[in-house]
Amino acid sequence: MKITIFGSGYVGLVTGACLADAGNHVVCVDVDRRKIEMLERGEIPIHEPGLEAIVRRNFESGRLRFTLDAAEGVGHGLFQLIAVGTPPDEDGSADLRHVLAVARTIGSLANDYKVVVTKSTVPVGTADKVRQAVRAALAQRGLTLEFDTVSNPEFLKEGAAIADFMKPDRVVIGSDSARAADLMRTLYEPFTRNHDRLIVMDIRSAELTKYAANAMLATKISFMNELANVAERVGADIEQVRIGIGSDPRIGYSFIYPGLGYGGSCFPKDVKALAHSAEQVGYDAAILKAVEAVNERQKLRLFEKMKAHFGDLRGKTIALWGLAFKPNTDDMREAASRVLIDALLKDGARVRAYDPVAMPEAARLYNEPAALTFCKSTGEALQGADALAIVTEWQEFRSPDFDALKQALAAPVIFDGRNLYEPTHMAKMGFSYYAIGRATQNQANPA
């Protein structure tokens, strides 16, 4: 099948590569010349395990192409997938300018039947606006070509996107056209062959499903962090509580790990956008607002613990392990590390930071001010540090050489934002250990 994807960012590139890998012919269109040139050289602008090999294989086979030419893209594909960004406006609403610009482009260039598919995460009612934009552009050309609009939200987890696409939990199709729904079913058949996971519904329900899924997961994270803060104050261990409630199949273990809050390109933006959408129809989404407020507060928990331990942070050096908002990605959008770094620098502290893959992104964001040093290893980050802060739960941080760690630090102090270690074990080794929702082990003041 012939497919065009507008947008070669995270969603567009993963979608295009995986569809091409199933034997389809895919053209990815983007307005960023530098990105297109990178992709044609076989360079991947994002970090996603397994993606580079799939892109290179399908580019070399001719099934995956990249272009700046929108006319080439519109002329190529029966399916016209819109996977451009929807950044939040100042009021939290999703900015649909890029989505609607692509819709107008399709309408201004199409000469035969198209299935216009929205992959971008968009508010309820966006498909109607896309349909109107395509129709208006066709009308300006004096044409009344048949086309269908479809909502096909993505459910890709950064760091596991290839597996999520190849073996999906579900494929949601929002359509009011039997013809378009059948074509979408055929498109996804290679990925749902073993078990039919394709769910067809009306367009508005599909649009809401994406927001609802992300908001539900964000709610679980904020709720668990709220419980963790209560646990600290009443002398309970949130990790034991997590096991106790996770064993209930109605709750489960997914997304109930306490920490420093959620980040990335999806949860923060989508919670805000859903709350704004609710306001637009006269409803006060109190839970969504609370989820966001708890999350923003949680990102400062390690900083608050540092202030309580040190008092004055001026002149202190903090080793920071982990910059990406989660493991297996270089994405630092809305990452807890950025909130912590900014607070430490503002308070006069120095930061020595390390991340396995996000160092180039961090350098781009910060331009390495004098008080912030980017290091090449965990050990280098520890040099001259007064304490260690763990912000991202990368696998290589889980079993460090604690003797070497203790010798490297000016004082054996760890602020663990991901609860990687056992507090009693850390106390026996002589560390002052601050975790989330667990008893503090303070060697300076054991009582």
For residue 5, which phi and psi values (nearest 5 degrees)? -125, 120
**Beta-carbon count within 10 A of 97 CB:** 13
Q: What is the largest CA-CA distance in the chain?
A: 81
Of the candidates 18, 28, 266, 375, the residue annotated as catalytic is 266
Q: How far apart are CA 262 and CA 116, in angstroms?
A: 32
- Asked if residue 203 lies in contact with residue 180, where contact means CB atoms within 8 angstroms, the answer is no
Cβ neighbors of 315 (< 8 A, separation 6 or more) are: 348, 349, 350
28 is catalytic: no
The edge-to-edge listing of strands for the beta sheet with 387-390 is: 372-374, 350-354, 317-321, 387-390, 413-416, 432-434
Angle at 88 between CA 84 and CA 92, to 5 degrees: 150
User: What is 385-421 written as a DSSP string?
Assistant: -SEEEE-S--GGGSS--HHHHHHHSSS-EEEETT--S
* Residues classed as catalytic: 266
